[in-house]
Amino acid sequence: MKATFGSRLRALRKAKGLTQEELAGNLNRQFGTKITRTTINKWENETHEPLLNQAKKVAEFFGVSLDYMVGQSDVKEIKTPAPGGVGAWLDGQLSRAMEIEAQLSPEDLEKWFDHGELLKLRHKP
């Protein structure tokens, strides 16, 4: 039998030792949602499906991927990037770009973007 959102939700909730009421309260506090115990019950019993944004928040709460949550993957844990990996490099580049942007006039900022577009065209495969 294929795993479903409801079966995964029930298993994850029980693994954390939470009641449906406690899970609803935790989700509401953490994400500002208005999920009730009844809603959790309907999801677990598969009489209703969550909205996409609700499913994402549930997955985030349990630290699993949305694919795992809906039974599309059996990989439970979300892999976090290694320190100093691509994520750190991108953070550094973004910080650098924001520093440059803050120092440019609107006209120079437009030229900067135009230069980036020219570079993209030059290196287009």
Q: What is the CB neighbour count within 10 angstroms for residue 53?
A: 10
What pLDDT score does 18 carry?
94
Lowest mean pLDDT among 17-26, 69-78, 79-88, 94-103: 79-88
User: Which amino acid appears at position 6 of this protein?
Assistant: G
- What is the CATH architecture of 5-69? Orthogonal Bundle (1.10)
User: Is the pLDDT assigned to residue 1 strictly greater than 80?
Assistant: no
Compute the distance between CA of residue 74 and CA of residue 81 in angstroms, rounded to an integer.
Answer: 20
Quick: pLDDT tens for 62-77: 989 889 999 988 877 7
Tell me how far apart the alpha carbons of residues 22 and 13 are, in angstroms, rounded to a whole number.
Answer: 9
Q: Rounded mean pLDDT of 44-48?
A: 96
Domain range annotation of the chain: 5-69, 86-122
